[in-house]
Amino acid sequence: MNKEIWNEQIRQDILEEIKEYLYLYLFKETKITNVYSSIKKLFNLNDTDILTLKKIHFLLSLQVKDFIEILPQLIRNLTHSTNKEKIKSIGRIQGQINWNKTYKKRFEQGYNDKSLYICNLRQKQYDLPENQLLKYLLKNILEILNTLHIKEKVDIDYWQDTIKNEYIIIKHINKNIHLQNITDISHIPPKILEKTIKNRNNLYQTVAKCYKLYESLFIKNNKQELITLIEKQILKPLNNNQLYEIYIFFNLINNFNNEHLKIGLLHPKNDYTAKIRKNNKTINIYYQHTPNEFKTKSKYNKLNYYYDLQITTKQPDIIIEYEENNKKTYRIIEIKRTKDPNYIRQSIYKVYGYLKDYEEIQLKKQYPAILIIWDGIKIEKEIKNQELIILTRKEFLKYKEKIL
């Protein structure tokens, strides 16, 4: 078993070194923290990634959290107006009987029909501006939740579980009968927002605050609002092995100027993670993602042709793709947060398995594979023309520019 080699101080030091990049990490085992972390820039994220960040951090915001918490109480106490009307009723009583009007009506009709009543009926009217804003907000939050496709509940308090709980609550609230009779509106004029803020029921102020954040992010596209929001609720990996992996990844890219670097969010659906263009060369750095060429040329994958094995591609932690003059070469990086000799030996064997599996791929001639560990090994002789080199964290930090 790989014994825990980090104490809390080491973990915090690692987090501190990469804190400006942490907002890019959206894999499962992360949890929202209330620790403030400054973000220098949003890099060159594309519009799709920016929208994903908006959705996730809006749903995780304090404004949405407060909104969700007050919803059950608000639905029970929706603001309303009361309309009074007189109705003619035969055989049953609706509201309060107006006897003067009832006798008069019966007299007009011969005074024989004792089943006739004139009633004063009070009807509550919920189709008011404040409730229209509420319905607008509920509808749009539900649309955002649906686009994220987070369906399963998890036992640990990951950020996805927070969003899943919001989905369950809002989907239930949307079935309320009073909401069904409130007008759908496509935008919120200032007058409606003002009425919501000034409503005597203080719960509507929470609705207004939530809407104002939605408006700033999704209607006004305020990037500074997004940055400020992210800084207050950074998602941090709970798993130290994953933390060490992204520590290595972010250290690979942090020496490049923003003008040379195009980066994507780190989540399973992204095609690439980072793209660097410099001097007519392109470098793609993949984290937990396998380029198509690896899938098609994997010897392991080809066994699916002969056997019903349902094999999936085995992927190294990081793959670096170098493209120049329409030719591509690759380098494989495997990361193990260990200093245990037995586990290091097992990891070496695993990397040699990658080299055999992908030998049809045009790998780099020099050091096609790199195993990065935490510590526990030292170089005895000068390394030349080896398929695999092993680097500790300190050695990686020393030679990381040469890797790229």
Q: Are residues 93 and 157 in the same domain?
A: no
In a domain, 197, yes or no: yes
For residue 244, the SS3 value is helix
Containing domain of residue 62, as a range? Answer: 38-77+128-233
Q: Are strands 30-32 and 235-237 parallel, antiparallel or unpaired?
A: antiparallel
Q: Are residues 88 and 173 in the same domain?
A: no
CB 376 within 8 A of CB 339: yes
Question: Among 233, 258, 286, where does a domain finish?
Answer: 233
In a domain, 322, yes or no: yes
In a domain, 314, yes or no: yes
Q: Are residues 152 and 133 in the same domain?
A: yes
Q: Are residues 89 and 68 in the same domain?
A: no
In a domain, 13, yes or no: no
Sign for the CA dihedral angle at 398, 400, 402, 403 comes to: positive
Question: Among 163, 198, 233, where does a domain finish?
Answer: 233
Q: Are residues 94 and 152 in the same domain?
A: no
Map tokens 């009217």 to a residue.
125
Question: Among 212, 233, 254, where does a domain finish?
Answer: 233
* Residue 153 per-residue DSSP state: -
Q: Are residues 354 and 260 in the same domain?
A: yes
Q: Residue 301's pLDDT is what?
A: 84
Q: Are residues 183 and 58 in the same domain?
A: yes
CB 388 within 8 A of CB 371: yes
In a domain, 332, yes or no: yes
Q: Residue 342's pLDDT is what?
A: 94
| SS3 annotation, 294-315 | HHHHCHHHHHHHCCCCCCCCCC
Q: Alpha-carbon distance 133 to 72, whole Å?
A: 16
Q: Are residues 144 and 204 in the same domain?
A: yes
The per-residue pLDDT for range 239-277, each reduced to its tens digit, is 999 999 999 999 998 877 666 788 889 887 777 789 888
Q: Are residues 206 and 93 in the same domain?
A: no
Which stretches in the chain have pLDDT values below 50? 1
Q: Residue 1's pLDDT is what?
A: 45
Q: Are residues 198 and 340 in the same domain?
A: no
CB 86 within 8 A of CB 101: yes
Q: Are residues 64 and 138 in the same domain?
A: yes
In a domain, 19, yes or no: no
For residue 291, the SS3 value is coil
Q: Alpha-carbon distance 150 to 28, whole Å?
A: 11
Q: Are residues 156 and 43 in the same domain?
A: yes
The total domain count for the chain is: 3
